[in-house]
Structure 1
Amino acid sequence: MSYTNGPRFPMGRPVITPGAQAMLDAAGIEGVLLLARHIHGDWGDLSAEDLASNELALLTGKRVLSSYNLPDGRRKVWIITEADRATTTILLPEEY
């Protein structure tokens, strides 16, 4: 994916839960790479309804969600940017 158009929204302060950090470390994935995908509109593995919700959220100032499957195919991490765009959190779905 090309990021030549820049981020689609401000992400605020990035944070990561200890569980998500451990999962990404075990998978050999840098969280910053997932953050880049998220803020550039690559929402990962979402339903058509969730994809549409994200696009609407960009227009209406609601929270934005991305979901990325990890290489093992069984686990995933979520990234959520709050509606006020103050923080973006990388977390495990069960931590929500």
Structure 2
Amino acid sequence: MARIAIDVVLLPSDEMTDYAIEVNRDLLKTFDNKIILNNENCLPHISLAMGCIDEKDIPDIEKILRDIAKKYSFRELRVVDLYAETIP
């Protein structure tokens, strides 16, 4: 079976997503446009894990992630500071 790339992420609230996209647009005025956030194919997110898996393992991984999310769910993440730098 084929191997696929995955990215396990936390997605912010709609309000925080809109704010991140707005901040990104402001940063693009000063920095190169290496990352252009939007609501369609470049969502603001926090990556928890990235890697390659066998497609056949998707159901098992999905179950594990659902169990973790139920056990350790939280209600709020707050932005306390913003920092920008260029990506080499």
Taking structure 1 as the reference length, the TM-score comes to: 0.31
Taking structure 2 as the reference length, the TM-score comes to: 0.32
Name the larger-Rg structure.
2
Which of the pair has the greater relative contact order for Cα pairs under 8 Å at 6+ separation?
2
